[in-house]
Every structure is written in C-alpha cells, then in structure tokens.
C-alpha cells in the first residue's frame, strides 16, 4: 500500500549465476505480536504479516530480490514452528533451497546453515544476506546498492561488504558502523574500510556516533561464502563444525537442541571489524520494522496507508505492543 518507486523488473538484469541470496525469515517477531494480531487476528511472526501493504514482508522481500537472483540461487531460512505461515508463501519456490530450522538459534546459526548448503552446490558462491522485516521506499535504489555491493565483494573476496544507512538520530536498537578511510566513491555510495562496529550502544554512545557521522547497520551483508564461513569459524568454530556434521548426517533436530543462540551482528561482526567494508546507502529509504513505534512512525508519514492503520492510527505504540 505504501507508494514505492519501482523499476521494471524486466529491465533489471539478473546477477551472474554464482551469486546467491539468503533470506532470513526464522525470527519469532516477539515485539510485534500485538500488532500482527491486530492486523490478521493471530500472533504470527511479523515477516509473514501484511504490515505495510497487501503482501507480507516476506513476500515483499522476495519481490525486491527476484529481479536480481534467479529462483534456484535463493535460500530461505525459516523455522518449523512457523510452517503454517510460510507454506503458502513458498509454494512457488520449488527451485529454491528451504532450510526449516528445528528451533530459532539466532541469525548466525541460520546463516551458517544456508552457507553450508550453498557451498556444497557452489564453492565459489558470492552470497547476500537479507532480513525479511525491512522496508525500502525506493526499491530500484535498493537493487542498485545490491549490485554495487556484489561487484565489490567479487573483487575484494577477503572482505565482507555491509550496507550502511545514513543515521538520522541516536538510535539505541540498531548496530552502528564507524567508517575508517575512504576506499572509493561512486556518486552517493562511498565505500569505506570499517574502523569499529557497535552493536546497540547506550544512548550517550549513540549520540557520539551520530556526531561522528557513523552509519546504521542495515544487516544487508554480501561476500564470498568461504569468507563468511571463515568469519564465523573465527568466533564460533564449534557451531560451524556441528552444523556441517548435522547437515551431512541429516541430524539437524538433535544438533539444534544443543546449539547456543548466536547473533550475527553482536557475536560475529562486532568482533571482526578489520574484515569488513561498508557501502553507504543514502537513496533507498531503508527502515527496520522491528518495533511498533517504528512501524507506526513510518506509516504516519505515508500518504498511502493500509486499511488497518487508518482504523487504528490514533492508538499509541504501547497500546499495540
């Protein structure tokens, strides 16, 4: 329902065959359960709820990426507990990899599961990691950023490329990226080395980061599959070994029962700043729909609002938490 500046998908060339998309859709969406219940009458995870349009956030994410990545080069990370919500969403994804996790063990574990499977098919793969709870006001600009990031990842295979958004205020629920030296400049998308990665800083630190011109972490992350695995192996080698063995032996359920929860931003990226590049995104209109106040704030500024919002626009965010 929100107005988008869409490009004609037929004019957007699909990226080369060795480029893969991993869509993360295994989260529980606890903070938005009250909102999803108001919209659809149940407490489904936000990624399977039509929050900003007539389509779910998951379907919108697929729509943004389909013009770039062919169906047999896409991997979906979901949780078995949400099967009744994603079955219909994936009915047309017969050629894709679907990883139904026995339990949610954090973003890093889901990413590892996808990487292991992709490398079995394509050891030289370049992989893009995409959350399924984001919004972009300009999807053509988003695709342009993804194309730029994949080009960079192909040429700097020892690094992981993160897309960083220009910070607008001192947000304490986002990860922050502090750029180091400028490596390249192409229009409004400069590329930097990363000096430091800050995961959900306290307010005084967030204010200091905003003042220094640091960027918000959008979590859109692109790099060689082998480099991703090396990155996580450095921090959680036992998890990578367990996941590799589990997939080889088809024993995911028993292994997941023993795995710790590992957050990709907090536990991996924050400790590996020297392996990261950041590409600044100033054009796509990125927003993270991680909390009710962010959703309501975004929709309040839109001139094309979904019906559920028009019916409840007077409610304060805390009412629907």
pLDDT in tens, 17-61: 789 999 999 999 888 998 899 899 998 999 999 999 889 999 999
Residues 216 and 147: their CA atoms lie apart, in Å, by: 20
pTM above 0.75, yes or no: yes
* Residue 255 in domain: yes
Residues pairing with 194 in the sheet: 179
* Residue 91 in domain: yes
* Residue 5 in domain: no
Residues sharing a CB contact under 8 Å with residue 303, sequence separation 6 or more, in sequence order: 3
pLDDT of residue 313: 62
Torsion from C-alpha of 25, 28, 30, 35, nearest 10 degrees: 50
What mean pLDDT is predicted for residues 220-243? 96
User: Which of the pair, 300 or 281, is modelled with greater confidence?
Assistant: 281
Residues 293 and 41: their CA atoms lie apart, in Å, by: 20
Query: Which is it for the CA torsion 75, 57, 31, 42, positive or negative?
Result: negative
Average pLDDT of the chain? 89
* Residue 215 in domain: yes
* Residue 1 in domain: no
Q: Which domain holds residue 204?
A: 13-320
pLDDT of residue 1: 34
* In contact, 62 and 23? CB cutoff 8 Å: yes
Of 133, 163, 135, which Cα lies nearest the Cα of 148? 163
Please check the confidence at residue 6 and state whether its pLDDT lies above 50. Answer: no
Give the Å distances, CA to CA, from 211 to 2, 208, 262. Answer: 31, 5, 30
Which position has the token pair 């367990």? 242
Considering its fold, how many domains does the chain have in total?
Answer: 1
* Residue 8 in domain: no
pLDDT of residue 15: 66
* In contact, 25 and 78? CB cutoff 8 Å: yes
User: Which of the pair, 163 or 14, is modelled with greater confidence?
Assistant: 163
What mean pLDDT is predicted for residues 242-263? 87
* Residue 4 in domain: no
DSSP string, 258-284: TPPP--IIIIIGGG-GGGEEEEEE-SS
Of 282, 290, 248, which Cα lies nearest the Cα of 107? 290
* Residue 2 in domain: no
CATH classification at residue 199: 3.90.550.10
Give the Å distances, CA to CA, from 167 to 72, 76, 161, 182. Answer: 35, 29, 18, 18
Residues 225 and 123: their CA atoms lie apart, in Å, by: 7
What mean pLDDT is predicted for residues 109-114? 96
């Amino acid at each position: 329902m929100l107005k988008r500046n869409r490009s004609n998908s037929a004019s957007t060339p699909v990226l080369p065959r060795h480029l893969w998309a991993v869509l993360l859709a295994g989260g529980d969406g606890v903070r938005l359960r009250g909102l999803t219940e108001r919209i659809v009458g149940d407490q489904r995870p936000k990624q399977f709820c039509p929050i900003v349009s007539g389509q779910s956030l998951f379907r919108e994410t697929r729509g943004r990426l389909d013009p770039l990545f062919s169906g047999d080069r896409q991997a979906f990370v979901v949780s078995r507990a949400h099967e009744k919500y994603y079955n219909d969403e994936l009915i047309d994804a017969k050629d894709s990899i679907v990883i139904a996790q026995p339990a949610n063990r954090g973003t890093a574990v889901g990413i590892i599961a996808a990487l292991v499977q992709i490398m079995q098919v394509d050891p030289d793969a370049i992989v893009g990691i995409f959350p399924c709870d984001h919004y972009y006001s300009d999807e053509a600009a988003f695709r342009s950023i993804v194309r730029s990031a994949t080009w960079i990842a192909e040429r700097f295979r020892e690094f992981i490329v993160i897309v960083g958004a220009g910070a607008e205020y001192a947000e304490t629920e986002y990860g922050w990226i502090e750029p180091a030296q400028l490596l390249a400049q192409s229009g409004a998308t400069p590329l930097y080395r990363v000096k430091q990665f800050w995961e959900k800083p306290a307010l005084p630190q967030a204010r200091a980061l905003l003042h220094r011109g640091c960027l918000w972490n959008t979590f859109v992350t692109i790099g060689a599959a082998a480099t991703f695995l090396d990155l996580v192996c450095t921090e959680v080698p036992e998890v990578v070994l367990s996941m590799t063995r589990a997939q080889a032996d088809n024993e995911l359920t028993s292994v997941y029962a023993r795995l710790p929860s590992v957050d990709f931003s907090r536990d991996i990226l924050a400790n590996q700043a020297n392996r990261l590049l950041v590409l600044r995104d100033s054009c796509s209109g990125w927003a993270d729909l991680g909390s009710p106040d962010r959703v309501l704030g975004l929709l309040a500024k839109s001139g094309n609002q979904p019906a559920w919002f028009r019916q409840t626009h007077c409610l304060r965010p805390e009412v629907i938490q």
